[in-house]
Every structure is written in structure tokens, then in C-alpha cells.
Amino acid sequence: MIPKAEAEPDVHRSGEWAAVTRALVPLALETARGVTRRLTGSSRPPARHGEHPRWDTEPGFAGATWVIGRTPGTLLRHRPMRLLGTTGGLNPAWTHHIEYVTTDGRDRTITATGAVFRSHRPWRGGPRPVIAFAPSTQGVAPHCDPSYTCTVGLNVFHRPPRDLIAAYELPAINIFLAAGCDVVITDYPRDPDLGLQLYCDHPAGARALADAVRAARQLGVADDAPLGLWGFSQGGGTVATALESPDYAPDLTPLAAVVGSPPAQLDQVLHHVDGTLATGVVAYATAGLMVSSPEIRHEILSVFTEEGLDALIANLTTCTGGSALASGWRSTAHWTRSHMTLGALLDDLPAVNEEFARRRLGQSAPQTPVLLWGSRHDDVVPFEPVRRLRDDWLRGGARVIWRENRTPRLPGRTGMNHFLPYFQRLSGDAGWLLDHLHR
């Protein structure tokens, strides 16, 4: 018999809505000003004193490289940046873009990028905590990296290829900063040879998140700061893997974690999302598989047509908005020689299947209290594998609070049944995590 998950406590969190107001009001104002500047063609505002003067024109440092002789978590470079919603007096924060050392899922040492946000708001209840924040999918091109998009917020590119930046994790980041937490994010590592993001490579993402926190300690984040983990969708898979593999970073001991709608079985996601507005996710995942090994790359390339390769490239060079324009509501059957969907073909490739198994969640149970949630009618990440993950964790003795979102199925397979539940409970889930970080 599967143990029952704990019921989610109905707790009134004093100050929760005050933190939400402090977070979202300046964010809304800054986003509106940024959109107005772009529509009118007016110049960007000057950088604040001490900031890099080109804060929103450079997506990142140089591309990922192999590293020899440096310890994972080593901070290599950092520079000031501008996080939308934190430049005024209501929710001030010290913000830096970072480059650091991490390892991929095969123990190869590489560079990665991310950001450190240190709140200037007071924290009441012991040492100021840090949130290790694994972002959800925003696209795999360099200009989609969260450490860049959170300086832009919203931007439309009209010249080909048409694209849209939408930094939809900004509200969550700003809520934690407004509550007095420091926040560390990862951009997810890239393959140094091909420059492709290791998309939904949960082990590599989990290591990059842990090493980002280690690097942040070299910028003043306290070694003994209470640690919370936060991740939704792709980020949920990253956080779940970090919980399942604590041996990688034994110096990091999270007190609690929120895991939302994680891709617990990547092969099932590829079947589920194909033909929806978010079909581009299949391209992201396929490219992330291809950089895993030459054998996998050879297997996958053998099934593509020339048209399919063009479609793959179109998705890999744009963010989620542009990807929706490139492949939304289209089947990947048009990309393959056999006219079968990519998900169906990948199921028959032996090296790919081994990689799917390596990334499957639920292979061990977390030792940290976790709020896990899924959406019954999720149109991006299938619900049943998330529920099975809950059962696997409970059987392993994990302390799990389970929440099942029952928002009715919305028409069009637009991804709204994936994203809407995230924002419906954003402040409540953040409040649950904050409650566990007081000492």
C-alpha cells in the first residue's frame, strides 16, 4: 500500500500579500516603461552608478567552455546587471550576472552562467535564506537565458526570425526578494562543442543549480543561509533531481522544496506535447538528447528530413514565443523520413532510451520536505507520471505534501493548463516555502 501524502496545511501567512505587492507593483511599472520605450523607439535608461553600461544588450558571457583543474562551484566572473522590479525603493536588490564552474551529467567539467540576487529587504526569523531557483523553459537560444530575459521582461522581435521574449518567472523571483530572501538562478549548462543547452538533462541541471549556489557564496551569500529549492516544469525536474541526488553537494542542505509539474518521464512529455502550441519543446528536448553522446546524435539525425532539420534549427534559435510561431499546433511527423512523430521514433532508438531512463525521476526519495504538485489537465507535462512520482517518493519514505490542480480543461492545447495553475498558487506556494526557512 502506498503511504498517503500529507495534506497541505491551510495556514494564514501574515505579510504574504504585502510581499506580493512589494514585488509585483514595481515589476509591472518597470515592464510597462520598457514596453513603451521599445514601442516609441526611445533610448534605454542609463545604467545606475557602478553598473555595467550595457546591461540589457548582451545576453551573456562568452559561450560555454571545457574546464580543467577548477573545482565545481568556483566563481569565474561576475558583473552587475539590472533585474526588473528591483531598482526602486519598494523592492531593492543587489543583482549580479555570474559565470561559474559546474559538471555535466557525465562528470565533465564545464562553465555555466546564472545570476545572484541579494535582497535589501529585512528578513525576520533568523539568518537571511537563499532560494535556489530553477527556471522553467523560456527557450534554448542564448538570448532566452533567464539571466538575460529578466533584464528585459518582454520584447518582440519583428525582423526574421520573429521572436518573443517573455520572462514569466520574474513574478516568482521578485516575490522571494520582496520577502527578504536572496535568490540564485541558473541558466542551465550548454554543451561547449555545439553550444546547445542540455535541455531537460535533469542531472546536469541539478548540478548547475547546486554549483550556482556555491558560486553565490563567493559574492556574499552566507554559507549557513537556510536553503530552499524552487522549480516548475523544466525547473521542477531540476529540483526533483537535486533532491534525489544529495551526494553531489553534501555542503548544501535544503530545508524544503517546491516542485511543480516536473517532466518526470521525458519520453512521455514528447508524446503529450506534440501537435500543441508548445510543439517546440520536442525540438528543445531532441537537441538536448543529441548533445548527450555521439551515438545518440547519430541515432537521432538518421530520422530527420531536410525540412525537419530546418524546423529543428528554427526552434533552437528562438525563444518560446518564436518557437510557437515556428511550429505551434504542427506535428513533428512532418519532420521525419517515416512520417511518424519524433516521440514515436525515439522510443525505438536504444541509446536514446537509455538516456530517457537516466533522466527518469523517482529513482530515490528526497530527504527534504517537498510540496509536489501537478495539473490533472496539463497540456504540456502529462499528469500521470507526476502522480507516479509522488507514489515513488512516498514508498521511499519521503515527506510529501501533494496538491492536484483540477482547473478544467481549456480549449486549444495552448499550454494554459500548464502555466495557469502555476500562477494561481504562486503566492501560496512561495509562502509555504518561506514558512520552512525560518529558524
Are residue 149 and residue 66 in the same domain, yes or no?
A: yes
Are residue 209 and residue 178 in the same domain, yes or no?
A: yes
Are residue 214 and residue 301 in the same domain, yes or no?
A: no
pLDDT tens-digit series, residues 405-417: 999 999 999 999 9
pLDDT tens-digit series, residues 234-263: 999 999 999 999 999 999 999 999 999 999
Mean pLDDT of the chain: 90
The conformation of residue 82, written as its DSSP 8-state character, comes to -
- Return the C-alpha cell found at 113: 552562467
Which residue among 308, 334, 355 closes a domain?
A: 355
Confidence (pLDDT) at 125: 76
Instruction: Find the mean pLDDT for residues 377-386.
Output: 98
CA-wise closest residue to 336 among 370, 371, 366, 311: 311
**CB contact at 8 A, 372 and 398:** no
Which residue among 309, 330, 355 closes a domain?
A: 355
Q: Domain for residue 209, yes or no?
A: yes
Going by pLDDT thresholds of 50, 70 and 90, the confidence category of residue 69 is very high
Q: Domain for residue 200, yes or no?
A: yes
Which residue among 355, 376, 404 closes a domain?
A: 355
Q: Domain for residue 11, yes or no?
A: no
CA-to-CA separations, 346 to 33, 45, 197, 315, 415, in angstroms, rounded:
45, 48, 19, 18, 23
Instruction: Find the mean pLDDT for residues 318-341.
Output: 95
Going by pLDDT thresholds of 50, 70 and 90, the confidence category of residue 27 is low
Please give the residue range of the domain that contains residue 27. 16-265+362-435
Going by pLDDT thresholds of 50, 70 and 90, the confidence category of residue 355 is very high
Are residue 182 and residue 93 in the same domain, yes or no?
A: yes
Here the CATH number for the domain that contains residue 317 is: 1.10.260.130
Confidence (pLDDT) at 15: 57
Strands (E), 177-217: 182-186
Are residue 166 and residue 274 in the same domain, yes or no?
A: no
Residue 273 has pLDDT above 70, yes or no: yes
**Helix (H) or strand (E) segment spanning residue 374:** strand 370-375
Q: Domain for residue 9, yes or no?
A: no
Strand-strand pairing, 227-232 and 254-260: parallel
Q: How many CA atoms lie within 13 A of 141 on its CB side?
A: 20
Dist. CA 70–CA 200, nearest whole Å:
25
Confidence (pLDDT) at 47: 40
- Considering the chain, what percentage of its residues have pLDDT values greater than 90? 79
Confidence (pLDDT) at 4: 82
Are residue 406 and residue 274 in the same domain, yes or no?
A: no
Residue 35 has pLDDT above 60, yes or no: no
Are residue 346 and residue 396 in the same domain, yes or no?
A: no
Higher pLDDT, residue 382 or 11: 382
- DSSP β-bridge partners for residue 166: 154
Q: Domain for residue 2, yes or no?
A: no
Confidence (pLDDT) at 57: 44
SS3 131: strand
Confidence (pLDDT) at 13: 53
pLDDT tens-digit series, residues 82-115: 999 998 788 999 999 999 999 998 899 999 999 9
Total domains present in the chain: 2
Q: Domain for residue 4, yes or no?
A: no
CA-wise closest residue to 402 among 9, 1, 134: 9
